[in-house]
Amino acid sequence: MSKQRGKFISLEGSEGVGKTTSLNFVREYIESQGHRVVVTREPGGTPLAEDLRNILLSNRQEQVDPDAELLMMFAARSQHVNTLIKPALDNGDWVLCDRFTDATFAYQGGGRGISVDRIAEIEQWTLAGFEPDMTILLDMSVEEGMARTRKRGKPDRFETEKLDFYEKIRAAYLQRARKYSDRIKVIDAAPDIATVQASLRLALREFC
C-alpha cells in the first residue's frame, strides 16, 4: 500500500504581521489532527539555501541588482523544494513553510518592480507547477506592521526599505489573493492574537 502524500501549506505576509506566532499555532493545529509536520522557511530550509539567505538578507554597501536577488531566491528555492520539501511530502509529512513563491511575486515583483511574466517564467523553469496546497496570507496595514518590526532587533536589508516598498508588496500580495482565491486565504492580522487564531482555526478546519 502506497504512502499517502502529505500537504504543503505556506504562510505569507509582509513585515510585522506575526508570522512566527501564527506558524506555531498552525503547526500545533495540524499536529492535533494526527499529522507529522515539517516546519521550514524561505529563503532557507537547507544548508545551501540558508547560505543564500544570509547573502540575501545581509546589509551591505554594494547595491544588490534586482535580477541577481531574484535568481538567488529561486536558486535557494530549487534546492529547498528538491532536497527537503518534496521528499518530506512523499514521506507523508505535512510541510509548513514561512513564505514561498508568492513572496517572490510580492517582494521582487511588487516591491522591486520585476515583471510578473519574468518571475512566472523562472518559476515554471525551476518548479514546473509545484505550489502549496494552501497559502495563508496574514494581512495588516503597512504602518502597523512596520511599527511592530521596529520593536524587534537590528533590521535586515529588506526591513530597511521605505514604506512605499511595503505598500507595493501588500498590494501585490492582495492581488495574488484575489487571483488565486481557492488557494490563498487572507487572514486579518491586525486584531488580538485570540481573534487571529480563531480565523486561522476556521481556515484550517475547512482545509484539513
Extract the C-alpha cell encoding 164. Answer: 512605499
Q: Are strands 94-98 and 8-12 parallel, antiparallel or unpaired?
A: parallel
Identify whether the C-beta of residue 203 lies closer than 8 Å to the C-beta of residue 136. yes
Distances (CA, A) of 63 to 34, 59, 186: 47, 10, 33
- Please tell me whether the peptide bond between 132 and the residue prior to it is cis, using omega within 30 degrees of 0: no
Binding site residues, as ranges? 13-20
Helix (H), strand (E) at residue 185: strand 184-188
Q: What does DSSP assign to residue 10?
A: E
Binding site residues for ATP, as ranges? 13-20
Q: What does DSSP assign to residue 83?
A: I
